[in-house]
Amino acid sequence: QKEVEQDPGPLSVPEGAIVSLNCTYSNSAFQYFMWYRQYSRKGPELLMYTYSSGNKEDGRFTAQVDKSSKYISLFIRDSQPSDSATYLCAMSPRNNNDMRFGAGTRLTVKP
Amino acid sequence: GAVVSQHPSWVICKSGTSVKIECRSLDFQATTMFWYRQFPKQSLMLMATSNEGSKATYEQGVEKDKFLINHASLTLSTLTVTSAHPEDSSFYICSAGDPGGAGEQYFGPGTRLTVT
């Protein structure tokens, strides 16, 4: 079993839809949870960062962490074609170390 | 957020030659930097952790004599691919954690290496 599981998709939605991206994990030591967005042939860009359980909102993006279920989510409201990218979840047990990535979900938002 | 740069962004080299990739933290000092490799449509694979002033820690299966890492200062880490072969062609990305931050890592834009 992989430490971090993420459905690679691809996921295609119409513009304006609510997008739900998810990851599950097996290592209960993970404390830091991140979502990155990666455009083709570019480095990942940090979107959301959460420590431990809870919700975090930033504009159209909401990150949720449920440590009891070992499940994290990223919601994108009012999705735009510019949101089309690969979204990677990442998590680590310690600050700035041992980060593990999900496989990434390829998202396409159609106009 | 913190800014990490990489140079070059794209390099083509002949088989058997060596290529050096630079990773710089532009607005913060990074005691630790990370080097990843990414194949098309696949996720990031951690190659090694680069620590300023000490030897890098390599992940299992990564040849340390082939992928030389030097972290000579708090803002610069280099990855040298020695005696490159076509199978080394990949997208190499570095990242760094901002010690003044809360645990997140910031990634460089990546370097695309093509070995002919």
Q: Which residue in B43, B46, B60, B94 has the most chain A C-beta atoms within 10 A of its own C-beta, making it the best mutation to test that interface?
A: B43
Give A 46-105 residues with CB within 8 A of chain B. Answer: 46, 49, 51, 88, 90, 92, 94-97, 99, 101-104
Residues in B whose CB is inside 8 Å of some CB of A read: 1, 4, 6, 32, 34, 41-44, 46, 49, 91, 93, 95, 97, 99, 102-110, 112
Query: In the beta sheet, which residues pair with residue A11?
Result: A107
pLDDT (0 to 100) of residue B20? 97
The string of DSSP letters for chain B reads ---EEEE-SEEEE-TT--EEEEEEESSS--SEEEEEEE-TT---EEEEEEETTS--EEPTT--TTTEEEEEEETTEEEEEE-S--GGG-EEEEEEEE-TTSSS-EEE---EEEEE-
Q: Nearest-CA residue of chain B relative to A33? A: B104
pLDDT exceeds cutoff 90 at A5: yes
Report the percent of chain A where pLDDT is more than 90: 72
B66 touches B83 (CB < 8 A): yes
pLDDT tens for residues A32-70?
899 999 998 889 999 998 888 889 999 999 999 999 999
Q: Which residue from A51, A88, A96 is facing B97, i.e. has the nearest CB?
A: A96
pLDDT (0 to 100) of residue A9? 86
pLDDT tens for residues B25-38?
998 888 889 999 99
Out of A20-29, A89-98, B28-37, least confident range: A89-98
Indicate the pLDDT class of residue B57, thresholds 50, 70 and 90.
Answer: very high
pLDDT (0 to 100) of residue B9? 95
Q: Which residue from B46, B104, B112 is facing A34, i.e. has the nearest CB?
A: B104
B50 touches B77 (CB < 8 A): yes
Report which residue type is found at A5: E
Neighbours of A14 (CB within 10 A): 9
pLDDT (0 to 100) of residue B1? 63
Mean pLDDT on B61-79: 92
pLDDT (0 to 100) of residue B101? 62
